[in-house]
Amino acid sequence: MSDKIYIVGHKSPDTDSVCSAIGLANLKKLTGTTNAVACSAGKLNKETSFVLNYFGVPAPMVLEDLHIRVQDLMGGEFHTVESTTSLREAWQIMKDKEQKKTLPVVDEAGKMIGVITIGDIGMAFAERVICEEDSNCPTGNLLPTSVSVASVMHTEGLVSFQEDDLITDVRKKMVETRFYNYPVLDAAGKVVGLIGRYDLLGLSPKKVILVDHNEWGQAVTGAEQSQLLGIVDHHKVGGIQTSEPIYIRVEPIGSTCTIVAQCYREQGITPDKAIAGILLSAILSDTVIFKSPTCTPLDKTTAAFLATIAGVDPKAYGIEMFKASSNIADRTPQGMIEEDLKAFTMGENKVGIGQVSLMGMDGFEAVRADLTAAIEAHRVAQGMQYLCLMITDILTDTTELIVKGENPEEVAKAFGKTLVAGSVELPGVLSRKKQVVPQMTTYFKA
Ligand SMILES: [Mn+2]
């Protein structure tokens, strides 16, 4: 049984959950826990791929679930024979190589064509003894080299497993069959190992450390059945119960990677350039380049420290990173309207307010006409008096509020502005919750 410690973030992994796993696994290795393995709980998003590429960090192993599979129990030497191998040689291998019960028989390409067991050899031996006593048989060695594996091997009713078979299924099959050892095959049918009944005795759950989440609902499948060793996170706590004491480190700060960077400092270890770069990236990602209300002074000082090691300017690099993933060309007008749309009742009016965040307005003018037409169509279809879409440029801290509705000038008045080409310019506005909804609610209620 492999003794790996899987370090993994939440499903639908974001940059913080992936980079905190890589950063923490690296620190564990540097401090002597060599069996730590960084994982991502699914496919990397565009931003995370950009980040790992930028700093030359290989993508971590994708951990789809924490179920125990055949490959987790395999390992160690195993031996095969060919059909032309003599019985004597096969017996010698079983005796010398401590593989006493089963030898897979393979062809030249290593594909399994049969199985020979110690019982088969014993039977051949017994038959020879009986034959010899019969005195009509030629005398000689009881297992002459001329007798080959082919004469006694099984070729039918073979039971084998694949590397990714679940142990729960393997166990069932072993109960139904009588063999001691079972060959494990790869997709091409090649023998890659053996798994025996005794392997299931040493079965223990996989060990895991959760980063950037602390709820089973967000964790990879099978996490509840694993052995939870620790949690490093910055979200609200709720839900998880453990049967043993574990390490928990949860801080109300902007990014899990800020906590991981603190762990390096506490161990007196300076992260290398690549690790510093990806930890910094995650802080910039989670705090929207320090603008999110969740960002703390510790996130900023940590980012500044990491940026010196990584050799990048945090703001300039952060913009490059966000640009790499907020490409307007990848979105449709309808997708932009619906990606973050909320409905409100303001006075007599049903009002929709959506928000699209962009790093710079590059490419926006090319879609403006299609987008405004789609907003009007969506407003009518939804029976809304007003449908507004905040086009928020994180780069300049500015929102353009595109307004469609019965009297769009009324929306402009809510902000003490006038409508220009169907939009209200709102410099300094980033938050719908704090800077748009209250103003409009107050105005339409009056
Ligand atoms: Mn996070």
Provide the domain limits for residue 384. 332-445
pLDDT score of 144: 64
- Ligand 1 midpoint to CA 235 (Å): 8
pLDDT value at 138 more than 70: no
DSSP-assigned states of every residue in 373-388: HHHHHHHHHHT-SEEE
Contact 24, 209 (CB under 8 A): yes
- Ligand 1 midpoint to CA 433 (Å): 21
- Ligand 1 midpoint to CA 286 (Å): 6
Number of independent structural domains in the chain: 3
Instruction: Name the domain boundary from 144, 178, 199.
Output: 199
pLDDT score of 133: 67
- Ligand 1 midpoint to CA 249 (Å): 13
Cα Rg of the chain, angstroms: 32
Model confidence at 401, pLDDT cuts 50, 70, 90, reads: very high
Q: Are 189 and 281 members of one domain?
A: no
- Ligand 1 midpoint to CA 45 (Å): 14
- Ligand 1 midpoint to CA 271 (Å): 20
pLDDT value at 413 more than 90: yes
- Ligand 1 midpoint to CA 239 (Å): 18
Angle at 374 between CA 368 and CA 380, to 5 degrees: 140
pLDDT score of 341: 82
Long-range contacts of 170-173 (CB under 8 A, 24+ apart): 170/70, 170/195, 170/200, 171/200
**Close Cβ partners of 336 (under 8 Å, ≥ 6 residues apart):** 354, 356, 371, 389
Give the range with max mean pLDDT: 35-49, 256-270, 335-349, 385-399: 256-270
pLDDT score of 134: 63
pLDDT score of 14: 87
Model confidence at 435, pLDDT cuts 50, 70, 90, reads: confident
Report residue 29 CA to chain centroid gap: 20
What is the amino acid identity at position 437?
V
- Ligand 1 midpoint to CA 72 (Å): 30
- Ligand 1 midpoint to CA 50 (Å): 17
Q: Are 76 and 195 members of one domain?
A: yes
Q: Are 242 and 356 members of one domain?
A: no
pLDDT value at 62 more than 70: yes
Question: 409: which 2 tokens?
Answer: 């000038």
Torsion of CA 374, 377, 380, 383, to 10 degrees: -50
- Ligand 1 midpoint to CA 34 (Å): 25
Closest C-alpha to 20, from 259, 287, 247: 259
**What global pTM score does this model have?**
0.70
Model confidence at 414, pLDDT cuts 50, 70, 90, reads: very high
User: Crossing angle of helices 273-286/46-54, nearest 10°?
Assistant: 150
- Angstrom CA distances, 318 to 183, 280, 348, stand at 51, 9, 42
- Ligand 1 midpoint to CA 181 (Å): 45
Instruction: Name the domain boundary from 324, 356, 391.
Output: 324
Q: Are 339 and 310 members of one domain?
A: no
Dump pLDDT digits (tens) for 225-281.
899 999 999 988 877 888 889 999 999 999 999 999 999 999 999 999 999 999 999
- Give mean pLDDT, residues 424-442: 88
DSSP-assigned states of every residue in 81-112: EETTSBHHHHHHHHHHTT--SEEEEE-TTSBE
- Ligand 1 midpoint to CA 237 (Å): 13
- Ligand 1 midpoint to CA 363 (Å): 29
Share the mean pLDDT of the chain: 90
- Give mean pLDDT, residues 336-340: 81
- Ligand 1 midpoint to CA 209 (Å): 15
Q: Are 241 and 291 members of one domain?
A: yes
Q: Are 219 and 268 members of one domain?
A: yes
- Angstrom CA distances, 93 to 109, 276, 344, 396, stand at 20, 52, 77, 74
- Ligand 1 midpoint to CA 15 (Å): 8
pLDDT score of 143: 63
- Ligand 1 midpoint to CA 25 (Å): 17
CA distance 270 to 183: 46
Q: Are 190 and 242 members of one domain?
A: no
- Ligand 1 midpoint to CA 255 (Å): 5
pLDDT value at 434 more than 70: yes
Dump pLDDT digits (tens) for 66-90.
999 998 888 778 899 999 998 888 8
- Give mean pLDDT, residues 385-396: 92
- Ligand 1 midpoint to CA 16 (Å): 5
- Ligand 1 midpoint to CA 372 (Å): 34
pLDDT score of 320: 92
Q: Are 85 and 42 members of one domain?
A: no
pLDDT score of 33: 95
Q: Are 178 and 228 members of one domain?
A: no
Dump pLDDT digits (tens) for 140-159.
556 666 788 888 898 988 89
Q: Are 35 and 110 members of one domain?
A: no
Contact 420, 401 (CB under 8 A): no
Model confidence at 306, pLDDT cuts 50, 70, 90, reads: very high
- Ligand 1 midpoint to CA 296 (Å): 13
Instruction: Name the domain boundary from 154, 176, 199.
Output: 199
Question: 408: which 2 tokens?
Answer: 């769009």
